[in-house]
Amino acid sequence: MANILDKIFDAKKAELEETRRKVSLAEVKNKIRDQRDVIPIGDALQASTEGSKIIAEIKRRTPFKGDLVEQFDPLGIARTYADGGATAISILTESRFFGGKLETVAEASQTVTVPLLRKDFIFAEYQVYESRACGADGFLLIATSLDKNQLKDLLELGKEIGLTALVETHHERDMEKAFHAGVELLGINNRDLTTGKTDLEISRRLLKETRGMDNLLLVCESGIDNRAQIDEFEGLGMHAFLIGESLMKADNISDKLQEFTGHGKTQPAR
């Protein structure tokens, strides 16, 4: 029986066929010329700035928890994230299961000046070009759903057109694929995308696989909801944190982001 991740990819493949019929690859490539210059995500994550590096995510809903926010204003959220010190912004563009749209990336690229990560279920070269054509600075590759050669080819294509690939892993087999592909920006997703279950022990375990790999930028994904967790994982070697649900569901997104960056953290008594 197909799990939810398989269903999402199947739906995405059908959607892509329709998209290709409407917009040729040549047309997509032509649109790249109209985009602003790429803002390198890796440079932003390595910049010497105060506070923790947060990739703040815009996500309307999930197949596991339904709608996350009642009044969904993606550009307003993007501005809040940028003004609040987010290092980068992740935008979910999958429509059927997550309620996203590619146009949000294009609009955000003209609204904020921080790097934008297109987060979707990407498996084809067309989608990589599409990501650049809509103004993204990076894109997501889910190692679980790609074979090692496919992962490497898509990562390399991204480099050719100036985009950074965040390679998302969930277990040791994913890590092997990522290393084979020459990953530079490695995400460890604490959420099992086949069940929706989140377990921070995933990051604690998989971080051990990266020991001695000083060239890697490491991103902790999913399950972070308080400052203490960020402190812990920074101590274990994480460089950045991709956070969506905790921000989207917060009563005050700006305040929650400040907590995550550390700028809103209560200082200890002297």
What number is the average pLDDT over the span 41-45? 96
- The alpha carbon of 229 is separated from its chain's Cα centroid by a whole number of angstroms, namely 19
pLDDT tens track for 73-108: 999 999 999 999 999 999 999 999 999 999 999 999
With 60 as the cut, is the pLDDT of residue 1 above it? no
What number is the average pLDDT over the span 183-190? 98
Residue with the larger pLDDT of the pair 49 and 124: 124
Position 3 scores a pLDDT of 87
Q: Which residue in 149, 122, 160 sits closest to 38, CA to CA? A: 160
User: Distance between CA atoms of 238 and 229, rounded to whole angstroms?
Assistant: 11
With 60 as the cut, is the pLDDT of residue 269 above it? no
With 90 as the cut, is the pLDDT of residue 203 above it? yes
> Which secondary structure element, helix H or strand E, spans residue 91, and what is its range?
strand 88-92
Position 125 scores a pLDDT of 98
Position 50 scores a pLDDT of 85
Domains of the chain: 4-261 (3.20.20.70)
pLDDT tens track for 235-254: 999 999 999 999 999 999 99
Position 173 scores a pLDDT of 97
Question: What share of the chain in percent tops pLDDT 90?
Answer: 88
Q: Kindly report the pTM of this predicted structure.
A: 0.94
With 60 as the cut, is the pLDDT of residue 266 above it? no
Within 138-216, strands assigned E span 138-142, 164-169, 185-189
What number is the average pLDDT over the span 18-45? 96
User: Distance between CA atoms of 63 and 194, rounded to whole angstroms?
Assistant: 11
Helix (H, G, I), strand (E, B) or coil at 39: coil
Position 193 scores a pLDDT of 87
Q: What does the mean pLDDT of the chain come to?
A: 94
CB 192 within 8 A of CB 200: no
